[in-house]
A and B are shown apart, each in its own frame.
Chain A
């Protein structure tokens, strides 16, 4: 399985998509393609919480995920799973699907001035994290590793865009098996 598709769910800045396309290709050594953008995910909206269900979104993505490939959905919507107040993203552990929400990655969410470079880095780290799950990686205790659990934006910012030694090894093994 050497293909990764990106899909924007709703409108996403083209520059950001191009950046992720290039960097994720390098990081995972996968060929990266783009699927047709998807419409705004109104079907996943929960009026009580005012957020979007990432479970509903994943269910939609599974329908269109090309055979033998991985699919990363990217949305500006704020995502949740029922038991948690929000999630930065979600993935199928050892699966093919992942979704990342940009909602809480923007500086504006924290009432700061917009900064596209920071957004890019955050989006890359979160995408690496969720895609890492699809390769069977679980949360890593190394705070600087993209696979560590970030429960807030500060923890996400502490991460680097480079795997720790252990996750690098596990990823290499998993990729060897899935290719």
Chain B
């Protein structure tokens, strides 16, 4: 892994005996205690830890819910109701899981935007970034199948609409799309058979995510963390050990995040959901206005913006998959947007584009929403396909500090470093 040695020294005889046989404590100490983290990380860097918390929380609450949930068309809706009303603490655990999915996506989107702003996808972090895109895809699949489980109207019609996306393949090869859709459904329409398999896969996929996250963290600990300057760690004074510095900062970020989380769970548990999902699934009535959960709305807007079935489906999947190519689309040599005046503007316009698409995705498919969906769909892809490659070539970056230390302490003049208050308190065991 990274160019540093674990300072682990077993203190007890048992610890020493164990370390010689399975040095797992040494590994953990090296990667999560001594690990050098850039000294200038800001709060945007706490979302990795927050996401780890989200994943564990979803696993724990999900395993509990699976003890009470019944994945059948006849009983699914009632069993969720029973969990919320009768099961001990079900009123708490069910919203923790449902709200938890939304919180997971809030955190992951901030995490992705942070990566885009500070150029965390650039060499040598391409594999780390691509693993992240795979995690996002796995999260989307898991969330989609999880939303099916309460078997309300939105569950049912969400599954119908999204699985039908694959029928667009019929226009490439007649019958292929239909065959795939019927294979996914296990019938000729969405039924309890479909619900049953979605439950099985919804239980499986989080463990796939755990595996991908392990690889993501491994890749992170090979390349080391990026930081707001985008500079590499060059000297010992550029970094601090992960514990207690980064861990303490992560804890502050996590607690702030948990306040928002708890507020939703305890005060407005169903705010992020949709009222139609409190009506049991009915195969004969489509709700007048189908919308996915908020975290899928930007992609839903892109799907609806393209006036062709196959084109819409392709655009929607491309909107996620284009992230894979970002390390090569961005031609700039400077990582951080802090030193890239034009990219910074493009980035914030891109953030606005995503929010606008999200809002438009919640609106019915009529004018003027369709026009603006099309406008922002073009803007979305233009950010990746035009702004990223072109700005890297024409932009003159601002002067970069010579090191991370200099960005924090200012330029060292005449051998006397201006030491800000508090800096001397850092233990100099570097």
Q: Do A and B come from one complex?
A: no
Query: Which residues of A line the B interface, CB within 8 A?
Result: none
Query: Which residues of B line the A interface, CB within 8 A?
Result: none
